């Protein structure tokens, strides 16, 4: 039951520290509500530490906690305490809270630290009504992009239903939740007058390996400020950074971002792609043993048609990638999403037998995206997957590092779904793109907008914000040319390297202004076509 409800009861010492931090701000509240009050540790701490509260409400769903919280009802003759047993999602906070007094309102607490998908996997009924918080469409609404923390829903419910009270809301949550709430408030024009994030040691207080904080917002009707000062702890007086919104996007460090403003946010003229998604690694991902034979993760030797097997780089491989080699391989069952796979029974009988023998691994895949798809279907596949060259980055690492990748044994390298890439049809294009993206101007820009504590710091959405035209015009061209040579040499593109060696910078610029080989991102066609490098112009 505790897991079902994302249950982390707030230790009393932490509740007391939080109240001290709030009181140091000099603001006085006369009413308080704890939306998921549990045992009532915040309610009790308010009664112990503060003498200004005339009324405190608590809402809790679990019987055992309600019984413990009820002991606080008659704790003080000066403060009316109301403990209500209810599912917060069923309570209309605008209409159903029956206050006997008026005055400044403090919302305080520690809502569940669990996502909707985690609750769903547990068969929980403790879920809000179906809601697409992020306004996603199509496949994004059916995959991890649509996952949200229950705390996010609670925050938004509080901000909307209590807006007329202009409350201070100060609650513990994951830092990712705080960022998402700030961004959602901006998109929905919710009236935030002030916000701050104060980090806490979640490992110390809850035994949880997650970045967490006390997120505080002031809901008001005056001029909105969609930014949050980030403090290292509850007692810090000076922020380490300020999270803000720029061009509709979250920025991790507004100061660094403003200093790097010449490398502006834009919309990439090239579409970034994500690697293969199959959710059957034990069967689909292979390695070469000492005898150069293929084995799966079950320890079985795998003998299938070579045309169905491609070199593979996972995110960790890509981050440490130094040479055009890999010991991994992956089975590719389709050339495009939705393609019928039944032809494999005739065209690749060994592969069909192997896949059929392991059919259970595919049937056990939980994601709904596989519903109604052909047997052994995969995602993140298209003509772009088979491009001979790619420029790629791991989404999971905290240090941005782009890699130019060439074919291995004359086979295009596949990437897993922790990676993002731009498909290229020749070594020249891969070399110049990698050199551009690895330039300090670009890396500093990325560091100013990404969040190192995120589960996936680098995302497709973030990469699409890199304005290649702006970047190209910022970079010193001789340095760029030198780095392109280094990339070509590393990819063992000898002919292209020797050709580039003969060029001076002016020739180099002319050469690369004429390159036109990648996806037609403007029309989003799923095939390799010419793409004019319109961003390769000299300002």
Express each pLDDT in 20-40 by its tens digit. Answer: 999 999 999 999 999 999 999
DSSP H helices in 33-110: 41-49, 63-69, 93-96
CA 361 to chain centre: 27
Contact 235, 23 (CB under 8 A): no
Q: Which residue has the higher pLDDT, 17 or 144?
A: 17
Element holding 292 (H helix, E strand): none
Phi-psi sector, 37: left (phi>0), alpha (psi -120 to 50), beta: alpha
Phi-psi sector, 248: left (phi>0), alpha (psi -120 to 50), beta: left
pLDDT at 281 (0 to 100): 97
DSSP H helices in 208-306: 254-259, 281-284
At 227 the three-state DSSP class reads: strand
Question: CA 198 to CA 204: how far, in whole Å?
Answer: 15
Tens of pLDDT, residue by residue over 313-325, are 999 999 888 777 8
Contact 61, 88 (CB under 8 A): yes
pLDDT at 1 (0 to 100): 40
Over 60: is that where the pLDDT of 100 sits? yes
Tens of pLDDT, residue by residue over 193-225, are 999 999 999 999 999 889 999 999 999 877 889
* Residue 403, CA distances (Å) to 272, 344, 372, 408, 520 in order: 14, 33, 36, 15, 22
At 333 the three-state DSSP class reads: coil
**What is the SS3 string spanning 122-182?**
CCCCCCCCCCCCCCCCHHHHHCHHHCCEHHHHHHHHHHHHCHHHCCEEEEEEEHHHHHHHH
pLDDT mean across residues, the chain: 85
pLDDT at 321 (0 to 100): 85
Over 70: is that where the pLDDT of 116 sits? no
Over 80: is that where the pLDDT of 522 sits? no
Question: CA 93 to CA 86: how far, in whole Å?
Answer: 12
CB atoms within 10 A of CB 335: 11
Tens of pLDDT, residue by residue over 265-297, are 667 778 999 999 999 999 999 999 888 899 999
pLDDT at 261 (0 to 100): 54
* Residue 85, CA distances (Å) to 37, 103, 159, 183, 184 in order: 10, 24, 21, 31, 29
At 196 the three-state DSSP class reads: strand
Pick from 395, 382, 387: nearest CA to 425: 387
Place of tokens 């392991």: 358
- Give the CA angle between residues 177, 59, 214 to the nearest 5°: 30
Over 50: is that where the pLDDT of 443 sits? yes
Domains, the chain, in order of start with CATH, read: 12-246 (3.40.50.150), 273-529 (no CATH)
- Give the CA angle between residues 346, 298, 276 to the nearest 5°: 60
CA end-to-end distance (rounded Å), the chain: 62
The answer to which of 386-400, 443-457, 461-475, 505-519 has the lowest mean pLDDT is 505-519
Tens of pLDDT, residue by residue over 470-513, are 888 888 888 888 888 888 888 887 677 666 665 555 555 544 44
pLDDT at 291 (0 to 100): 85
CB atoms within 10 A of CB 13: 11
CA atoms lying within 13 Å on the CB side of residue 456: 17
- Give the CA angle between residues 157, 161, 167 to the nearest 5°: 100
Contact 391, 404 (CB under 8 A): yes
Contact 181, 155 (CB under 8 A): yes
CB atoms within 10 A of CB 269: 17
Q: Which residue has the higher pLDDT, 433 or 325?
A: 433
Q: Compute and round to an integer the Cα radius of gyration of the chain.
A: 27
Mean pLDDT of 221-249: 91
- Give the CA angle between residues 418, 421, 253 to the nearest 5°: 75
Structure tokens at 5: 């409800």
pLDDT at 476 (0 to 100): 84
Burial category of 432 from C-beta neighbours within 10 Å (exposed 0-12, middle 13-18, buried 19 and up): buried
Question: CA 415 to CA 421: how far, in whole Å?
Answer: 8
Q: Which residue has the higher pLDDT, 115 or 436?
A: 436
Burial category of 371 from C-beta neighbours within 10 Å (exposed 0-12, middle 13-18, buried 19 and up): exposed
Q: Which residue has the higher pLDDT, 301 or 426?
A: 301
Which pTM does this prediction carry?
0.80
Place of tokens 């910022």: 474
Place of tokens 């705390």: 151
Look at strands 285-288 and 294-296 and give their pairing: antiparallel
Question: CA 389 to CA 532: how far, in whole Å?
Answer: 17
pLDDT at 75 (0 to 100): 87
Place of tokens 């259970």: 360
């Amino acid at each position: 039951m505790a897991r079902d409800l994302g249950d982390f009861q707030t230790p009393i010492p932490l509740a007391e520290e939080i109240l001290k931090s709030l009181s140091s701000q000099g603001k006085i509240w006369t009413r308080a509500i704890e939306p998921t009050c549990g045992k009532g540790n915040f309610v009790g701490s308010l009664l112990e530490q503060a003498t200004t509260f005339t009324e405190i409400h608590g809402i809790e769903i679990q019987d055992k906690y309600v019984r413990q919280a009820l002991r606080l009802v008659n704790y003080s003759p000066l403060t009316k305490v109301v403990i209500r047993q209810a599912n917060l999602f069923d309570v209309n906070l605008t209409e159903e809270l029956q206050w006997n007094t008026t005055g400044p309102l403090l919302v305080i607490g520690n809502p569940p630290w669990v996502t909707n998908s985690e609750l769903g996997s547990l068969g929980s009924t403790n879920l809000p009504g179906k809601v697409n918080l992020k306004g996603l469409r199509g496949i994004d609404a059916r995959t991890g992009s649509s996952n949200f923390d229950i705390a996010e829903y609670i925050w938004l419910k509080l901000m909307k239903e209590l807006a007329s009270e202009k409350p201070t809301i100060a609650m513990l949550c994951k830092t990712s939740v705080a960022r998402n709430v700030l961004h959602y408030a901006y998109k929905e024009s919710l009236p935030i007058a002030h916000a701050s994030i104060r980090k806490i040691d979640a490992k110390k207080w809850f035994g949880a390996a997650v970045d967490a904080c006390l997120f505080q917002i002031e809901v008001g009707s005056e001029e909105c400020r969609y930014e949050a000062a980030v403090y290292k702890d509850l007692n810090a007086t000076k922020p380490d950074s300020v999270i803000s919104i720029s061009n509709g996007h979250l920025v991790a460090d507004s100061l660094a971002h403003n200093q790097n403003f010449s490398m502006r946010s834009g919309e990439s003229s090239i579409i970034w792609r994500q690697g293969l998604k199959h959710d059957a690694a034990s069967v689909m991902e292979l390695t070469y043993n000492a005898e150069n034979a293929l084995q799966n993760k079950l320890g079985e030797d795998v003998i299938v048609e070579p045309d169905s097997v491609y070199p593979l780089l996972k995110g960790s491989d890509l981050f440490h990638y130094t040479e055009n080699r890999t010991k991994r391989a992956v089975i590719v069952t389709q050339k495009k999403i939705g393609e019928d796979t039944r032809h494999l029974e005739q065209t690749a009988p060994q592969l069909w037998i192997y896949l059929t023998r392991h059919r259970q691994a595919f049937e056990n895949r939980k994601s709904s995206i596989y519903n109604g798809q052909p047997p052994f279907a995969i995602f993140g596949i298209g003509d772009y997957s088979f491009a001979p060259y790619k420029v790629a980055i791991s989404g999971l690492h905290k240090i941005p590092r782009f890699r130019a990748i060439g074919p291995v044994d004359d086979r295009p390298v596949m990437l897993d779904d922790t990676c993002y890439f731009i498909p290229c049809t020749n070594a020249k294009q891969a070399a110049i793109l990698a050199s551009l993206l690895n330039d300090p101007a670009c890396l500093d820009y990325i560091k100013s907008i990404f969040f190192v504590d995120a589960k996936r710091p680098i995302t497709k959405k973030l990469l699409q914000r890199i304005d290649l035209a702006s970047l190209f015009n910022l970079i010193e061209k001789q340095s760029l040319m030198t780095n392109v040579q280094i990339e070509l040499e590393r990819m063992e593109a000898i002919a292209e390297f020797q050709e580039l060696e003969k060029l001076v910078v002016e020739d180099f610029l002319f050469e690369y202004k004429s390159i036109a080989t990648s996806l037609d991102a403007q029309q989003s066609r799923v095939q390799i076509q010419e793409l004019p490098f319109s961003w390769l112009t000299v300002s």
